[in-house]
Amino acid sequence: MAYETIEVRPIAGALGAEVSGVDLTDLGNQAFSEIHRAFLDHQVLYFQDQPLDDDQLEELTLRFGPFGDTPFVEGMPGHPNIIEVRKDADEVGAINFGGRWHSDFSFQEAPPSMTLLHSRVTPPAGGDTLYTDMYGAYEALSPGMKEMLKECSAVHSARRSYGTGGRFSKNPNATRMTVHPSAEGDKEMAHPIVRTHPETGRKALFVNAVYTVRLEDMTEAESAPILDYLYEHSTRPEFTCRIRWSENALAIWDNRCTQHYAINDYHGHARLMHRTTCAGDRPV
């Protein structure tokens, strides 16, 4: 179906599209409907030259749905639903927030449906974000693997990042972002390894190396061969796309059927992004 109010150009064969011809601060109903359709079709949307302030970013987020809950990372003063994803130019050896393949907060009972990320300061080169298509990763599995996984669940936890023994507990000065690790991060939540998208009805893999810790009813050692295979399989180059950021750009992605990875290759330069999420449903 053709778009009448926006232009949509695919970024890669698997997923991702750049959208132009629209002002995100002045969206009519038809334009918003077409953006939502493009979002479901392409999973990741990228908009250049969108100088949103924080109020406008929040207003846009709420067009898609209520805010998601953001644990462990402190929101901005006056804007608790926005977090600053930042790394300063002089932060040598700092943790790069989002610097491994993951789906946002998959350890929650109802992980966020979507994430919006707006660029405020970008390095002259580097700091790109990679995305991978978890629909395509599932569809490329063998019939035997699909049969084995269809009734399986995996256990997700924030403990490696935000738990009492996680990397932010071990190194509280690892970032200038305000992070509050706690015992809440040690909790576990089981989700299906193969989830059905509530809007498209398509099946997608739902595991990631940051928050998935084991298969349900198995030890970590027993789970590792299967999970390691799924991590490697789902991030094969043919399932991915790459966004090169410019200032005042916005990306929107679907956490229900993608993973993402923030590349840490801009040492000596600053990168500042403002991020929101929309609430999601419990995976089924």
Residue 205 belongs to a domain: yes
Q: Which domain holds residue 204?
A: 7-278
Q: Which of 60, 48, 46 is nearest to 10 (CA)?
A: 46
Catalytic site includes residue 260: yes
- Per-residue pLDDT of 237-277, as tens digits, reads 999 999 999 999 999 999 999 999 999 999 999 999 999 99
Active-site choice (104, 197, 271, 274): 104
Element (H, E) at 222: helix 220-234
Residue 106 belongs to a domain: yes
What gap in Å lies between CA 55 and CA 52, rounded to an integer? 8
Catalytic site includes residue 102: yes
> Can you give the CATH number for the domain in which 146 is found?
3.60.130.10
- Per-residue pLDDT of 119-132, as tens digits, reads 999 999 999 999 99
Active-site choice (42, 159, 160, 275): 275
Measure the CA angle with vertex 84, ends 18 and 279; round to 5°. 70
Catalytic site includes residue 269: no
* Number of folded domains that form the chain: 1
Burial 143-152 (b: 16+ CB within 10 A, else e): eeeeeebeeb
Task: Quote the mean pLDDT of the chain.
Answer: 96
Residue 283 belongs to a domain: no
Active-site choice (118, 120, 156, 260): 260
Residue 58 belongs to a domain: yes
Residue 36 belongs to a domain: yes
Q: Is the pLDDT of residue 93 over 80?
A: no
Residue 284 belongs to a domain: no
Residue 1 belongs to a domain: no
- Per-residue pLDDT of 73-82, as tens digits, reads 999 999 999 9
* Cut 0.85: pTM above it: yes
- Per-residue pLDDT of 103-112, as tens digits, reads 999 999 999 9
Q: What is the pLDDT of residue 190?
A: 98
Q: What is the pLDDT of residue 92?
A: 80
Catalytic site includes residue 104: yes
